[in-house]
């Protein structure tokens, strides 16, 4: 089976798949108490399990990083949850109907796209969401790396099994860009735009990138991995020197720390809406929204592709998401893949 963009590095650490379970309901109950004590007896009644089982689940939540006080007299009290992408937190933030209902979480992994690919090969269902707190070998487009320090960003990969031709796959990059930009617009005061093909910018600097990888079977897609990297709480000075002029984070743009888990949930939900819309109505509504969210038309650019560089003015993108570039002679060139540099 042909695969595109492969990487055979081994996985690190143990992964686990979360379903709705007692631990999740314990967490929900403790959250509902909003910083007040809840007695073991009440929890045991509510969750239908013994007080010993409650105690075990509270220990397990502590192991995930929650700070939970316990007292034989008063019961349990959840102190403020830290901004960690803990699986139970992710699950609680998800409002999507199908996508993300199976979560694979790693504290550290080489690349969530690589892990997602392995899971897809092993038969993971459509909608499986792979999330990591940090990546040691985060992959960007065209062989670049993606800066993924622990606890500061969102690194996720969604496994999809779309029923369309491999040639349509690049459209999913644009779809993910639309969903991501719409997720960020209510949070960021500076203008959020999309830059073809896979960048989301805030205030003109890159805040997120998308990396789609597919495996094909004759003329079908066997699986597709939609990888998203979003800079959330990274201070400007923490970015590698060479990125500082071009990169930004939500915290830099808003001036304060941003809780990641809600953004993650909002993105998955919005992505699902566009993905379903694509299935029902085709690419039209996505491309229309993409055009509204991009400010590329009319800009002078240099496009770097595997065949070399081209200069021109962006005329727009066509209905299939192909970039249209007007050269000095007025001829319009169709660019299927490449990197765009504003000049």
Residues that bind ligand BTN (CB under 6 A): 111-113, 135, 138-141, 144, 146, 155-157, 198, 209-211, 227-229
CB of 133 to ligand BTN, least distance (A): 12
Task: Give the count of alpha carbons within 13 A of 51, CB side only.
Answer: 11
Looking at the Cβ atoms of 58 and 211, the one nearer to ligand BTN is 211
How many Å from the N-terminal Cα to the C-terminal Cα in the chain? 41
Nearer to ligand BTN, 74 or 142 (CB): 142
- State which residue, 111 or 216, has the beta carbon closest to ligand BTN: 111
DSSP 16-68: EEE-S-HHHHHHHHHHHTTTS-B-HHHHHHHHTS-HHHHHHHHHHHHHHT--E
**Which residue's Cβ has the minimum distance to ligand BTN?**
209
Closer of 102 and 206 to ligand BTN (Cβ): 206
Of 144 and 244, CB closest to ligand BTN: 144
CB of 106 to ligand BTN, least distance (A): 11
**CB of 135 vs ligand BTN, minimal distance in Å:** 6
Q: 151 or 285, CB closer to ligand BTN?
A: 151
**Both structure tokens of 184:** 């960020």
Closer to ligand BTN by Cβ: residue 58 or 180: 180
Helix and strand totals (H; E) in the chain: 9, 15
Strands 308-317 and 323-326: antiparallel
Least distance CB 113 / ligand BTN (angstroms): 4
Longest Cα–Cα distance in the chain = 82
Alpha helix stretches (DSSP H) within 65-224: 87-93, 112-121, 170-184
Minimum separation from the CB atom of position 341 to ligand BTN (A): 14
Establish whether the linkage from the previous residue to 227 is cis, with ω within 30° of 0. no
CB of 208 to ligand BTN, least distance (A): 8
**Among candidate residues 116, 292, 123, 86, the one with its CA nearest the CA of residue 222:** 123
Could you write out the three-class secondary structure of 178-203? Answer: HHHHHHHCCCCCCCEEEECCCEEEEC
| Short-list 213, 206, 224, 244, CA closest to 341 | 206
**Structure tokens of 56?**
């075990």
User: Smallest gap, in angstroms, from Cβ of residue 18 to ligand BTN?
Assistant: 19
């Amino acid at each position: 089976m042909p695969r595109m963009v492969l990487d055979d590095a081994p996985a690190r650490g143990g992964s686990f798949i979360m379903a709705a379970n007692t631990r999740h309901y314990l967490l929900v109950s403790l959250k509902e108490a909003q910083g007040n004590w809840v007695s073991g007896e009440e929890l045991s009644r509510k969750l239908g399990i013994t007080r010993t089982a409650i105690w075990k689940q509270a220990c397990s939540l502590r192991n995930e990083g929650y700070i939970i006080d316990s007292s034989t007299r008063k019961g349990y009290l959840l102190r403020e949850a830290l901004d960690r992408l803990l699986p139970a937190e992710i699950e609680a933030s998800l409002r999507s109907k199908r996508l993300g209902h199976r979560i694979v979480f790693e504290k550290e992994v080489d690349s969530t796209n690589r892990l997602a690919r392995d899971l897809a090969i092993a038969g993971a269902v459509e909608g499986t969401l792979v999330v990591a707190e940090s990546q040691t070998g985060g992959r960007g487009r065209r062989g670049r790396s993606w800066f993924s320090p622990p606890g500061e960003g969102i690194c996720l990969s969604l496994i999809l099994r779309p029923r369309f031709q491999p040639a349509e796959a690049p459209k999913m990059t644009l779809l993910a860009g639309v969903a991501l930009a719409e997720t960020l617009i209510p949070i960021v005061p500076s203008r959020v735009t999309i830059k073809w093909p896979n960048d989301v910018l805030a205030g003109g600097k890159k805040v997120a990138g998308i990396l789609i990888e597919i495996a094909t079977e004759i003329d079908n897609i066997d699986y597709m991995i939609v990888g998203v990297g979003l800079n959330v709480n990274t201070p400007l000075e923490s970015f590698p020197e060479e990125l500082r002029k071009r990169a930004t984070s939500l915290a830099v743009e808003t001036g304060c720390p941003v809780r990641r888990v809600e953004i993650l949930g909002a993105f998955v939900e919005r992505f699902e809406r566009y993905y379903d819309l694509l299935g029902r109505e085709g690419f039209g509504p996505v491309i229309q929204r993409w055009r509204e969210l991009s400010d590329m038309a009319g800009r002078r650019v240099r496009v770097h592709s595997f065949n070399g560089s081209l200069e021109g003015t962006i005329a727009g993108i066509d209905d299939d998401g192909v970039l249209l570039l007007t050269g000095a002679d007025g001829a319009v060139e169709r660019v299927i893949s490449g990197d765009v540099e504003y000049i």
